[in-house]
Each structure stands twice: as structure tokens, then as C-alpha cells.
Chains A and B, each alone.
Chain A
Amino acid sequence: MDAMAAIKQTFFQECEEQLGELEIGLLVLQDGDTDPETVNAVFRAVHSIKGGAGAFNLDELVHFAHVFENVLDHLRAGRLAASGDVLKTMLRAADMLADLVRAARDGTAADTGRRDTLAAELRALDPEAAGKDLDSGHQDSHGDDLDGPVFEAVPISFDDMEIESTPDEHQFIIHFTPKPDLYAKANETALLMRELCSLGEAVITCDFSRLPVLEELDPEGSYLSWSIELRTVQDENAVRAVFEFVEWDCELDVAQVGAAQGLDDMALEALIEKMQATVEAELAAPEVPPNDVQASMDEPLAAQAGSAGQALGNPPGGKPDAGKSSQATIRVDLDRVDRLINLVGELVINQAMLTQRMLEAGLARASGVATGLDELEQLTREIQDSVMAIRAQPVKSVFQRMPRLVREVAVMTGKSVRLTTAGENTEVDKTVIERLADPLTHMIRNAIDHGLETPELRAAAGKPEEGLVHLSALHRSGRIVIEVADDGAGIDRPRVKAIAAEKGLIAAEAPLSDEEIDNLIFLPGFSTASTVSDISGRGVGMDVVRRSIQALGGRISIRSKPRQGSTFTMSLPLTLAVLDGMVVTVAGETLVVPLTAIIETLQPKADAVHGFGGNSRVIAIRDQFIPLIDVGHELDYRSGFADPCKSVALLVESEGHVRSALLVDAILGQRQVVIKSLETNYQHVPGIAAATILGDGRVALILDVDAVVAGSRVAATGFEQLCAAG
């Protein structure tokens, strides 16, 4: 069953992709796009999920997808207008479908009540359901009381539903004689029989008469044939569809018994045409007579059989999305990529060590060895970049989850919100992406809950009732910058200050700049929501966001304008695996300072350094006085203070645009280093972000600039324990 589990896993992976396509498509439609290809893409997505789910007997999923698909089919055929309300329902249905997929994957129970309500809403959209009751045994919801016994909260199998729908049964006599080719193409007759049985009641008899004696038996020949008596509510097309992929490799005879009238030729032709159109993902959907109820009903079944065929490794003529995917991709186990990345990291270290040994051995620059080493270094860099690119992913995967969040939060808060995104294709390392979702979720919730005003307040302020949240990503100087902007009221600075003072976070009369007040919201234990709402305001707000971003080596800042809105900006490293750093020495220890933090380096002059009471010192740089931090002292490498004139100062900018000068003994050079976690085998060390291995094979520590700066400030005010907590 391992193979089956693997196929199932692939199915769920594909489902996630399809759900993404579905949501994007619906959002595009909501924006007024009427491209038939978009509608087709949406339809295909639901259709593929349904088809796959059918192959795995996920009845609940099939059922919901089927209802959804019916409505989408009307949309596709132009019988239903893509109005705002329709799309809103569809978006919620898409969310429900996603929940059902996840429930099926994790084996948990989905919210059946919500499912049934949404299924009812979908049926209500069906322009034809009203008169005909075409869809299933369930009555549609027109005029029906939802409390009635219409929607039972039990999983309803697809088969039952169909049997209920058209009470008149057909009887078929099927003769099926496979040719050897059928087996050669790895088809399995038993599965076809099983598929037939799923249509209705089948009596299967196998004909052994052509079976030769053992000596004459060709192991690759085909000697068996079957007669099947099938009683089903399906029509002949559904029965034939079971054999769709073996049609040319067998003799098949399907005869209907009794006085049931088949579809007329016209309808049949239209149906076949339509099926092909779906399968090949043709742009133009052929016209289907509006009354051709049978056709739209049966088509999914055909596709279901098709998916079963796919799952069995029998590629059908055209995979539903074959025409669409332009880039060839492969799925690779993440462990393998990680192993490769680790190995390349080792290679980089080794190459650096080799270079250093060569220099130590006194091999002249002119020698061929040096040239070879240079080339090796370049190649190693390129390999590293390429390997990192494998794991890089567009932030789309995280951004895609946000529209749903926005819808849910909007409903909960009673606000009208529109989410726009930009730069979804900005790529960043997978490890960063994974840890981006939580802070981003929180920021968006905050933007809607705290940032945006209620529709009434907005109207009063002369703004459109619909609030805007803009989510964007871009690359800037080797980092990824993600912004969450809202057009709400902006930060209420007097109130923020009052609350901070009330909670004892600041002194009441502390003179603070606007920027400093804005940054108060990042303090632990700060929450401005007057009522603790369901969404945010549990007092674990922005400080948690800030901490999780800092843990990623990132920074977060806020800009806010009263009445115009706030913008949160996160800046994150593109990868958590390598870092460009400046190698420095401090009290005999080698340290690496992340290059992104450094603005400039300078040699302090004696008259530029001023004492500032206690151990605090400042340095004058172009008319600005900047706190001087002795790294060696800060990290307890030495008890005294270094002489600034014999040291080098690194002007750094830490979070919140705070500038400080870090005093180190000497600069050794710049280098790309491979980040090694200290937490793996040890624990977090205050003031240290991680470790790395330098060219001489020794471990060097990577300085956590923000923590050192923050630590020095706390230390200056005398709370040494807080500094240790870092």
C-alpha cells in the first residue's frame, strides 16, 4: 500500500496547487476579468480535485466538489453571470473545499454544517436547479427551510446521490474482451470491473473458454473475456467511459436492455465534444444545449474514470492541465536538497581552507596553483548560488493564504476590506518562507483589526467604505522587503503614549519623537485594542511578530501617518544558510559582523570620542553623536575598555534606524560565510546570532548586532539580567 500512499500524497500536493489556482482565478474574476480561459482554469481546478478525490473514494470531497463544479459549469457556459455575490459565495466555497481537502488529508473531520450551508448556497446559484431538481437527491434550497431534514450531516457517497437522482434504472449487457496490448500497457481488468461495480449493481462472469493448455499458453497473451450484467442509473456514456482508456485495446460491446431511450445523436455528439474540450483544456467550450442536463451530469464521471486511469500510471490522451504548464518541473524530496546545500556549505568552507593553506605554504601568486584556486572559488560561488536557487521559492505560496484570512477577519470585524498584492513572484529561501506565514498573518490581522476603521467611520472621514490592505514584496540590496500597508486611521499617537505610560512601559512625561511612539507598539505586553477581540489583542501582538522576525535575522519597522494609514516594513535575509560578513578581531577572538548591518567603518580620533557619564561614551561623526559600544567589553571578552584610537569603529544601523558605533580591534576582511546554528548542539548565546567556520577551520561567532546594541543600552541603565536574556 506504500505506492498507493505515495500517489495519495501526490494527489494532496496537487490539490494544494489546484486550490491556489482556483483562488487566484476567482479573485481575477472578481476583479472583473471575463477571460473564458480564467473560468476554464477555475473549472479545471475543481474538476481535477473532484476527479482525484473520486479515485481515492473521498466521497465527502467528491460530493462538495461536484456541487461546486455544477455551478462553475453554468458559469462557464454563460448561464450564470459572474456577479460580485456569486463570486463571494464561490470564494467561500473554495475555502470550504480547501478545508475538506485538508480534512481528507489529515483524516480529521470537516465542519459539516458549514459545508452543507455552502452546498445549499451553491445550489441556489444554479439557474436550472430551480425547476428540474437535476442535481441530486437533495432538494435544492429554493424555498427550503435549512433546518429541515434536507441536509443531513452525514457523509453522502457519490453513488447514492446519483441513484436517488434518477430513479429509472438501465440495464446493460457488456461484453469485454481485452487484447494483449491492453495488458502490455499496464492496465488491470480488475480495476475496470471495480469501476463498473461502482456505477451500480453488476453481475460479472468470466469466459475461460479460449484458455489454451499450459504448453500453448503465451504468457503475454490475452485469453479471457467477460460478460457483465449491469444495473445502473447511469447511461451508456458513463459505462463506456469506464473503458475510455482501453477502448482501442479491447473488443467492447455495450448493449442496453429494455425500453430505455438513449440520448439522441445530437446530444451524444455534443457530450463527446465537450468531454474532449475539457480534457484537452481547449479554450473555446463548445456549445452545449442549455437543456442538456444529462451531459453536464455525466461528464464528471467520465473524468473520474480518467483520473483513476492516471493514478494507475496509464497516461490519458491529455492531462487536464497539460496544455497550460509551460515549465518542466520535478518534485524532489526536500531532504535531498537540504543535504546538497549542507554539502555545498562544506565545500565553500573547504575551498576557503585550501586557499588559506596555499597562502601559508608560500605558493606565489603567479603560480598556476593560484589561478586554479581563483577559478575554484568562482565555481564554488556559482554552485552555491545555483543550489540556493533550488530552494528559493516565490513568496506567492504565503501570499496566497492571505486573501482567505482577509475575508475571514473582515467578516469577523464587520469591516469591508480589499487586499491587493504585488511582487508575489519575489523569490526567497524556503526556510524563510515557512517562517514568514505566522508573522505575516498577524500583521494582516492587525492591519484590519486595528488599522482600518469601521465603514461608518471611514464614510465620515470621507474615505471609501472599503478599506485597503496592500501586501507587497521586493528585493532590496540582498534582502527581501515585505510591506503590509493599510489606508486606515494610522497610529493614534497620544493614545499609544498614554497606554504605554499607563502600563509602565515608559515614563509618563518622557519626551518621545513620533517615530519612537510608533515603535512602542512593538514592546512586550502592549495592546491597544480596548476590547480584547477574537482576532488580535491578546497582548501577544507586535512584540511576538518582531521577535519572530528577528529570529530570522530580519528587522521590522513602522511608518504611520495620521488619517492616512500605517505601513509595516519587514526586511529579511534571502537565505538562512549563508551571509556576507566582515571578519573582525576582538580581544584575540575572531568575530563575523553581518555586512547588511554595517553602514561604514572608520578610525576614531581621540578628540571625537567623548565620555558621557558612567561607562557610556559617544563618538562624533559628521555632527552627530553616536553611542560607542565596545564589543569586547559587551561580550565579556575583557573587563576593561579598549582604546578607541587603537581600534576600528563600525557604524551600524540596528532595528528602528538606531545608529551605533561598534568598537573592534581590527578588520580582517570580507567573506561569505556559511551559517551554523549554535542552538543545534548548544543553546542561544546572548549577543551571538550563530556561528560559522572560517578558512583556518576554526569556529567564528557571528555577532547579533541588534542584540549587542540593545544589550549595551540596557547595561547602561543597570539591568544586566535583561541584557543576558538578550
Chain B
Amino acid sequence: MTETASNPDQRPTDLARACELIAFRMGTREFCVDIMSVREIRGWTKATALPKSPSFVRGVVNLRGTVLPIVDLSARLGFPAAEPTARHVIIVAQIGAQTIGLLVDAVSDILTVTDDLVHPTPDVASDMAKTFVRGVLAVDQRMISLIALDQVLPVCEQDAA
């Protein structure tokens, strides 16, 4: 938990620095990403598995003619892999030139925040926290982690091999 709980009703005074975030749930945890990188949100459809891929890559689906890779965000962040049902959703996000789908349990909220509401990531030892979490927000006593998407896709596996 963070030390100072900010009041979510406190509307940002400086609109230029305000940004909107999409919050979503995975299990009991809550996360959010910048709304500007989200292209659309759609229901889960069965993915075509990709051979020799990391376990968190669920495969690819057809998004109106585009081949969209699906990343199980829960597995990517080091939590148990999701068991997708029709109730799961895919957040279609733009990362650089690439478009990917993030498999999450449900989308919960849209938050309007200013920079000062985002607290630095608490100094914990988790690699996940260091790699993916850019900061944490406290909203209604809940902790919502702000995810940086640029690390979500695996780096070129060939280099590792």
C-alpha cells in the first residue's frame, strides 16, 4: 500500500498534464495502461497456437484481417496463466509499430489522473515490478499498477538461442 491515499474525486487542476488510463482486473489484482495506446477491446476468441513461443504468448487471432498476437498478461507478469473463457477480454494495444492483444479478466474502469497521483513503484525485489510497472495509483483504497507496455512482447528469441 502507498503511504498517502489520494482522493480520486479531486479533479486534476492542470488539464494539460492529465491523462486517462484504462483499468482492468486479472484475478484479484488491478492494473492499468494509458488509454492512448489502446485501440479497442474485444471478447476472447480461440487463438491459433504458435510453436516454439514463450508460454505467455497464447497464439494469434484474426482481427479483421490482421494477425494479432495475444499475450496472456497475467502469465507475462509472473502470475498464474489465465484460463480464458468467453467472459475474458482482449485489450488491443499499439506498441510502437506493432499491434498486440492483451488477455485480461475484465476491464473495470477509466481513470483520469495527473502525474502527481502516480506514485513511484515501491522498492520491492520482484523483477516483474522492475520491468513492467511504471508506477502505482491508489484509488478507493485499491492499488492499481500502471503497466508500461513496451516490454510486454518477448525480445527476439533468436538472440537468446
Interface residues of chain A, those whose CB is within 8 Å of chain B, are 342, 345-346, 349, 589-590, 635-637, 676-678, 680-688, 691, 693, 697-701, 721-722, 724-726
Contact = CB atoms under 8 A, between A and B. Distances in A.
A678 B67 contact: yes
8 contacts: A676-B67, A680-B66, A682-B67, A682-B100, A685-B51, A685-B53, A699-B59, A699-B67
A375 B69 CA distance: 35
Contact of A698 (B51, B62, B65, B161): B62
Interface in B38-62: 46-53, 57, 59-62
Interface string B130-161: 00000000000000000000000110111001
> A342, A681, A721 — which one has the most chain B CB atoms within 10 A of its CB?
A681
Contacts of A698: 46, 48, 61-62
A678 B157 contact: no
Contact of A725 (B48, B57, B158): B158
A369 to B, nearest CB: 25
Given A346-B65, A678-B60, A589 B48 contact: yes
B52 A636 contact: yes
Contact of A699 (B52, B61, B99): B61
> B46, B50, B65 — which one has the most chain A CB atoms within 10 A of its CB?
B50
A349 B65 contact: yes
Contacts of B53: 685
B126 interface: no
A306 B53 CA distance: 63
A693 B62 contact: yes
Given A345-B65, A687-B52, A699-B62, A681 B156 contact: no
Given A680-B67, A680-B98, A725-B158, A697 B62 contact: yes
- List the 3 shortest-distance A-B pairs measured between CB atoms, nearest first: A635-B51, A682-B69, A699-B48
Contacts of A699: 47-48, 59-62, 67
B99 A724 contact: no
B156 A683 contact: yes
B129 interface: no
Interface in B103-133: none
Given A680-B67, A681-B69, A724-B161, A701 B62 contact: no
Nearest to B48: A699
A700 B59 CA distance: 11
A714 to B, nearest CB: 12
A677 B66 CA distance: 9
A725 B161 contact: yes
A623 to B, nearest CB: 34
B68 interface: yes
Contacts of B48: 589-590, 691, 698-701
A345 B156 CA distance: 29
Given A688-B51, A698-B48, A681 B100 contact: yes
Contacts of A683: 153-154, 156-157
A324 B65 CA distance: 44
Interface of B: 46-53, 57, 59-62, 65-69, 98-100, 153-154, 156-158, 161
B51 A677 contact: no
Given A676-B65, A724-B158, 15 more contacts: A346-B65, A677-B67, A681-B66, A681-B99, A681-B100, A682-B50, A682-B100, A682-B153, A685-B51, A686-B52, A688-B50, A697-B62, A699-B47, A724-B161, A726-B158
A42 to B, nearest CB: 45
Contacts of A684: 156, 158
A682 B46 CA distance: 18
Contacts of B69: 678, 681-682
> B60, B68, B153, B157 — which one has the most chain A CB atoms within 10 A of its CB?
B60
Contacts of A726: 158
Contact of B50 (A346, A697, A701, A725): A701
A387 B49 CA distance: 32
A724 B52 contact: yes
B103 to A, nearest CB: 15
A677 B59 CA distance: 14
Given A681-B100, A682-B98, A691 B67 contact: yes
A698 B99 CA distance: 18
A315 B99 CA distance: 49
Contacts of A685: 50-53
Contacts of B50: 678, 682, 685, 688, 701
Contacts of B66: 676, 680-681
B48 to A, nearest CB: 4
Nearest to A686: B52
Nearest to B159: A725
Contacts of B57: 682
Contacts of A345: 65
Contacts of B161: 721-722, 724-725
Given A681-B100, A683-B153, A635 B61 contact: no
Nearest to B61: A699
B77 to A, nearest CB: 19
A681 B154 contact: no
Contacts of B157: 683, 724
A349 B53 CA distance: 26
Nearest to A694: B62
Contacts of B46: 698
A685 B66 CA distance: 17
A684 to B, nearest CB: 7
A450 B9 CA distance: 76
Contact of A693 (B59, B65, B98, B156): B65
A701 to B, nearest CB: 7
A724 B159 CA distance: 10
Contacts of A687: 51-52
A684 B50 CA distance: 10
A635 B52 contact: yes
Contacts of A722: 161
A688 B154 CA distance: 17
Nearest to A708: B51
Contacts of A635: 51-52
A688 B52 CA distance: 10
Contact of A682 (B51, B60, B65, B158): B60
B55 to A, nearest CB: 11
A48 to B, nearest CB: 40
A547 to B, nearest CB: 13
Contacts of B68: 681
B113 to A, nearest CB: 29
Contacts of B47: 699
B38 to A, nearest CB: 15
